[in-house]
Chain A
Amino acid sequence: MIELQGIHRKFQVGNEAVHALQDVDLSVQPGGYLAVMGPSGSGKSTLLNIIGLLDRPNKGLYLLDEQDTTELNDRQQALVRRHKIGFVFQFFHLVPRLTAAENVELPLILAGFEADKREQRVQQALTALGIADRARHRPDQLSGGQRQRVAIARATIMRPGIILADEPTGNLDRSSGKEVIDILEHLNQQGMTLIMVTHDPELGGRAARRIQMLDGYIQSDTARKHEGI
């Protein structure tokens, strides 16, 4: 259960303070499917980063499974990211010198899994995503769709409860983009909470719940009654 209360995030750009998020309240139930939409600069990525503990709010309360995350130290936050959250980026962010399998293995290494258990898990994940034959390829030998699938395998290898996807199809062609969305939705059907940032209305329309952001505010939320009034 994700619960944001009165979240503020501002950046200092030169002399000007940019309010990326202002007084954001949001709660997402486990297993939910949420699309965050809005024009660029509306704060949707910042919102996702704060939910994923990649960024800290300047003000406000963020409860993840009833735990106040803003009070956690670096190590505790790392543990939450490792076990509860999987992140999928627009630019994949694979480590270029490592093979697909080694990229997927990284979170398991950080968690201290035994080597044989790691191999088994990585094999499973790659097979499930249909890229088992690409396990020994480096990212530059993979297509965009394959890279994103490797990234999804890495994000889900620890079986987190939440998948955060920041424009996961932004760098992909239409057909591989659709495949990636299918994979993410399939994971959602298995019970993972899926929060996806997108500015594509068609993609957003597939989500069970959509929020529209503008200038750091949540402008509309399909889960709220009397929206837009």
Chain B
Amino acid sequence: MKAFDVIRFSFRAATGFRTRTLLILLAMAIGVGAVILLTAMGEGARRYVTREFTSLGTHLLVIFPGRSETTGGPPPLLGETPRDLTLDDALSLKRSSAIRRVAPIALGSAPVSWRQRSREVTIMGSTAALFEIRQLSMAQGQFLPAGNPSLPAAVCVLGYKVKSELFGNTSPLGKWLRIGGRRFRVIGVLTPRGQSLGMDMGDLAIVPVASAQALFNTSSLFRIMIQASGRDSVLIAKKAILGIIRDRHEGEDDVTVITQDALLSTFDRIFTALTLTVAGIAAISLAVAGILIMNVMMISVSQRTTEIGLMKAIGASGGQVLRLFLCESAVLSAIGAMLGVMLSLIGTWTSLRLYPDFPVMIPWWSVMAAIGVGMLTGLIFGVLPARRAAGLEPVDALSRR
């Protein structure tokens, strides 16, 4: 029996039993497609969150005032109020070589008005270093100038949304506006970037940190953002920060330092778990599809016991019968799996067109697993009943109905 004839016979069998062939292809395609699509969505969700976090900037550390950890021991007799983080705290951090940039952040809310228009806007006080740390980019003009952070200056940078609401299409550069009763000159506009970590970078105005502190009449900072000099120095930077702040705060560890890597790895774990969950769902759908394939295959091959008996009667050995059915199952499974892959490609493409922000991506391992398991089920349950029928005496197979 020639290989080409085996393949031709398989195709004839596939086209001969249309309903059966369609059912098998459908089961296979849906199974394989569902597995790939689901894992692609899980992978997309994971990548989405990772991207959101890296958009914060790299090698980032954030200092909050106050301790977030709880420790054992008796409660203190006197209420322990955390000391505020001050601008001097922030500036002193530059001493460490592990720290490349420091951006103190003061935050508040104040009305911003230009001519007759006025809006209540988040005011962020910071320094020129914020630009690099948060990886901002300018649509117009420039960011806050570098200079002594302790000195206030009457300049501001607007978020995109604030700019368009106050100025419309006119250029705001060089215009004077009022923020909470003080006058500031607009020197730049940020590019629209959307939300990141819950802070809308479009709906705020950035002023020098000393100006913001004067505006809100406070000496404390909301937080300090720090960029370490490299990935390896993040932990050294954290230690240095804690040391410096402890020295300045009379030996008290009253700040919390969060590293971006810690955040990222936490979320990475969460989303690895999510991907695994999705893979689990995929595995179940694969199992369901496998059982569907199994049933269709088993029934259809069992119905062909008579044909197997005939093949043996006209001189086919059991091995030849098996080869024919193996090839047939392989052809059907392969076409079905291919359809499934195509289905998932169409699915991800559609998803990317509808939700371009959600980076659906097909991981290669899910394609392998889906095709592998699908083909294997198809082959096993295509050949198993054929094997049983081929093992019968021809006369028994022939008389089976």
Contacts and interface: CB of A to CB of B under 8 A. Distances in A.
Interface of A: 49, 52-56, 74-75, 77-79, 81-83, 87, 89, 93, 95-98, 102, 106-107, 109-112, 154-155, 158
Chain A interface mostly: helix
A29 B304 CA distance: 36
Contacts of A106: 311, 314
B320 A54 contact: no
Nearest to A105: B5
B200 interface: no
B99 to A, nearest CB: 77
Contacts of A75: 317-319
B12 A97 contact: yes
Chain B, interface size: which category? 20 to 34
B84 interface: no
A89 B307 CA distance: 13
A170 B393 CA distance: 24
B313 interface: yes
B13 interface: yes
Interface in B294-324: 306-307, 310-320
B395 A54 contact: yes
Contact of B314 (A49, A82, A97): A82
Given A55-B395, A109-B5, A109-B9, A81 B16 contact: no
B317 A54 contact: no
A111 B306 contact: no
Given A82-B316, A93-B310, 10 more contacts: A54-B312, A74-B319, A81-B314, A87-B314, A89-B398, A93-B313, A97-B16, A102-B12, A112-B2, A158-B315
Interface string B117-153: 0000000000000000000000000000000000000
B317 A95 contact: no
B44 interface: no
A78 B316 contact: yes
Given A55-B393, A93-B310, A79 B315 contact: yes
B199 interface: no
A89 B316 CA distance: 17
Contacts of B310: 93, 95
Q: Nearest 7 A-B pairs (CB), nearest first? A: A82-B315, A97-B16, A78-B317, A54-B394, A54-B395, A75-B317, A55-B395
Interface in B305-356: 306-307, 310-320
B17 to A, nearest CB: 7
Contacts of B396: 55
B45 to A, nearest CB: 47
Contacts of A96: 16
Nearest to B13: A97
B313 A112 contact: no
Nearest to A49: B395
27 contacts: A54-B393, A54-B394, A55-B394, A55-B395, A55-B396, A56-B393, A74-B318, A74-B319, A75-B319, A77-B317, A78-B316, A78-B318, A78-B320, A81-B312, A81-B313, A81-B315, A81-B394, A83-B315, A93-B313, A96-B16, A97-B16, A97-B17, A110-B1, A110-B314, A110-B315, A154-B314, A158-B315
